[in-house]
Amino acid sequence: MDRRAFLATGAGVAAAALAGCAAGGSGGGEYDVGMSTDAFRPETVTVEVGETVVWRNTSKQGHTVTAYGDQLPDGADYFASGDADSQSAAEDAWMDGAGGRLGQGDTFEHTFETPGEHGYFCIPHEEVGMVGVVTVEASGSE
């Protein structure tokens, strides 16, 4: 291979790699947070009040999106895939037959109305560190 062909090939590979980074795990606007085998990508996301976060299972593993009940701001709505209304209800549903499970390609979304940090986790993968945070800022905050 001559030098120009080598450089052209390298530039194309670099551009493709950077394009993947630019999406930030967001799937080009189709979702905000992806789920790998054992992590949310990105682990933290920041939105404004009234915005919706979409999670997509981008792995072959089954996952959940489950809010930590004690890590929500006062007055915040509880959120969990499977529509459980509390952390204990979500965990019980999982134990009773994988309730709230998101299979490969499945999505879950939640609209955040309360400013603050909203901690969440994946029930079957919490012990390996599959946790995340949605930081919600008041509209117009910097």
pLDDT digits (tens, 9 = 90+) for 48-64: 999 999 999 999 999 99
| pTM score of the predicted model | 0.79
Q: What backbone phi and psi angles, to 5 degrees, belong to 22?
A: -65, -30
* In-domain check, residue 12: no
Q: In the chain, what is the greatest distance between 2 CA atoms, to the nearest angstrom?
A: 64
* In-domain check, residue 107: yes
| Residue 40 near residue 122 (C-beta atoms within 8 A) | yes
Q: Could you report the per-residue pLDDT of 83-102, keeping only the tens digit for each?
A: 999 999 999 999 999 999 99
Average pLDDT, the chain: 84
More confident residue, 108 or 2: 108
Count of CB atoms situated within 10 Å of the CB of 119:
15
Residue numbers of the domain that contains 58:
25-137
Q: How far is CA 11 from the centre of its chain?
A: 31
* In-domain check, residue 4: no
More confident residue, 49 or 141: 49
Residue carrying the six token digits 């999505």: 107
pLDDT at 140: 72
The total of structural domains in the chain comes to 1
Q: CATH number for the domain including 44?
A: 2.60.40.420
Residue carrying the six token digits 């299979």: 103
* In-domain check, residue 82: yes
Lowest mean pLDDT among 56-60, 99-103, 123-127, 136-140: 136-140
* In-domain check, residue 18: no
Three-class DSSP category at 64 = coil
* In-domain check, residue 84: yes
* In-domain check, residue 9: no
- pLDDT > 90 in the chain, percent: 76
Confidence grade of residue 142 (pLDDT, cut at 50, 70, 90): low
* In-domain check, residue 34: yes
